[in-house]
Amino acid sequence: MKVQNKVMVVTGGGSGMGRELVLALLARGASVAAVDINAATLEETRSLAGSQGDRVSTHVVNITDRALVEALPEQVIARFGAVDGIINNAGIIQPFVRLKDLDYAAIDRVVNVNLFGTLHMTKAFLPHLLARPEAHITNVSSMGGFLPVPGQTIYGATKAAVKLLSEGLNSELLGTNVRVMVVFPGAMATNITVNSGVTISLTSDKAGSRSFKALAPAKAAGIILDGIESNRYRVLVGSDSTFMDALYRLHPQRAARFIYNQMRALLPE
């Protein structure tokens, strides 16, 4: 689906890759409803849109709140007249600890944002997307959604759920006007650790960042939009995601051991 003259909704639009997706969509001629829990960063995104700001609406919504999400489609339609696509980008990681040391508050938060937030958005917007001549759903999973990352077991479980949710939805929607794409980013140069309340840096030497360079979010946004416009089924974002996808298909246990060796220094003793 070409995004020019389309109305797109982007969650996590206040920062990182979500912000870059908003700006890239505007550059390609779309109108965008930017959704985020942080009002201040949403306004920063609108400001960065400059002269294209008249094609941006901002919506302060906690996507874990189903009632708030269910009210969102009508707000977007009232502003733009229609909605043609959603990009479920918002997500958080967990503290880098083993499952036995992860408290239930952290587990609930990660599951609610990554899985239920994506599910709420999809359920709320799908009836409106089915009414359009063509429409699109993009769900952002993670390299951790197909590959086990120690210290991110619950995060990975939610992203694996997003993967299967997307693929199942794609199959259910065959023969309709709605296309579904799932995205698997690798390491990204974003502030996801801050937004997740995690203090450790994913770009430190401890995290093995010298093996794969973190991808700039603007570059990632371009890859994702190219995937939407090419009606791709799945998109791998970053050299690390591409490499690990191939290795995991050939030898899952070897791939898991490789990531363990890369990430084990982040885990507390």
Domains in the chain, start-ordered, CATH in brackets? 7-266 (3.40.50.720)
Three-class DSSP category at 66: helix
Q: In the annotation, is 155 catalytic?
A: yes
Distance CA(50)–CA(192), nearest Å, equals 25
Alpha helices in 95-152 (DSSP H): 104-111, 117-130
Distance CA(252)–CA(237), nearest Å, equals 20
Distance CA(120)–CA(112), nearest Å, equals 10
Question: Strand ranges (DSSP E) for 54-202?
Answer: 56-60, 85-88, 135-140, 178-185
> Which of 104, 155, 233, 248 is an active site residue?
155
Residue 241: other Cβ atoms inside 10 A: 24
- Could you list the pLDDT tens digit for every one of the 269 residues in the chain? 999 999 999 999 999 999 999 999 999 999 999 999 999 999 999 999 999 999 999 999 999 999 999 999 999 999 999 999 999 999 999 999 999 999 999 999 999 999 999 999 999 999 999 999 999 999 999 999 999 999 999 999 999 999 999 999 999 999 999 999 999 999 988 665 555 555 444 443 334 433 568 899 999 999 999 999 999 999 999 999 999 999 999 999 999 999 999 888 888 87
Distance CA(130)–CA(136), nearest Å, equals 9
CA distances from 212 to 166, 202, 251 (A): 27, 12, 20
CA distances from 107 to 81, 116, 165, 184, 228 (A): 38, 13, 19, 21, 31
